[in-house]
Amino acid sequence: MVGKLPNSIKSKMEMTMENKLSEFEDRIVAYIDLQGFTNEVNEIGVDYDKFMRVKKILETMKKLEDKKEKNKLFGSLPDISDSDKEILENGFECIVVSDSIIVSYPAIPIAFNLLSIELALMQWEILWKWNYLIRGFISRGKCFHKNGVIFGDGYLKAYLGAEKNTNHSLPYILIQDLLVTNSGSIVDIKTDLYIKDHLDRYFINYGRFIDNSPTRKNLNASADQQAMRAMQFLHKCLELFEKDKKIWEKYYWTFKYCCSVSSLIDQFKDKNLVYES
């Protein structure tokens, strides 16, 4: 006959389980997909230059983990407390898998603002520097995310919102309605970080960083050089994919969006080119 566990051992086991369950917490999760990146990965083969390009693109995405970069961004967040800084620094998690990146923070109001700024800066850099479009979705829910492992409702909503949503084919990062419509919302929609799409849904307005000097300054290209490079890329793709409507529409939307939010982009567009949707 097996005896009962001593109370001291039982108590320790219960505490351990409680600690583990506390890691299954309310989190803000972003699932980001790099459009067309899989094709480039498949073409690497033994091509060293392509391998290094893919590696550098993924390193750009991994900048989100850099604590020094986070500290620079703290200055753009009003009334941030020391305890909030600690949560943001220690509670951030990131996984990069091939053409996707999954990032999350504990669900506190200031975390969403920081994540939005980080994703906006990354999205613009990926566009002008590496010539890729990004589609994604941000959700909130219970989730375990630690040491490269993620599961839970928060993650599932972000994944489905980015990859399985038939009403989300265009290249921008949508925000779950729950985050902006509930009375307990943690999103400040009054800021210009968020604007609405054609279906009245909020998405991250990365274009706000095109004309304004980004917190993460890039010493290799000025703001107008970045804008010029992005516009040249978009023009090229609009011509290249002219007969592929599904792909062409993504670049056309990005072209119109960038022109509408940036005076720099608008001045660089070719006035002789008129694209019909």
**Is domain 25-209 classified as CATH 3.50.50.60?**
no
Residue extent(s) of CATH 3.30.70.1230 domains in the chain: 25-209
Q: Phi and psi (nearest 5°) for 250?
A: -65, -45
The predicted pLDDT at position 38 comes to 73
Residues 6+ apart with CB under 8 A from 27: 104, 105, 106, 107, 140, 141, 142, 143, 145, 152, 154
Average pLDDT for the chain: 80
Is 115 a residue whose pLDDT tops 50? yes
High-pLDDT (> 70) share of the chain, %: 78
Is 86 a residue whose pLDDT tops 60? yes
- Which is higher by pLDDT, 271 or 223? 223
The predicted pLDDT at position 227 comes to 86
Mean of pLDDT values over 108-126: 88
Residues 6+ apart with CB under 8 A from 147: none
The predicted pLDDT at position 182 comes to 57
- Tell me the pLDDT tens digit for each residue of 146-187: 988 999 999 999 999 999 988 899 999 999 887 776 545 556
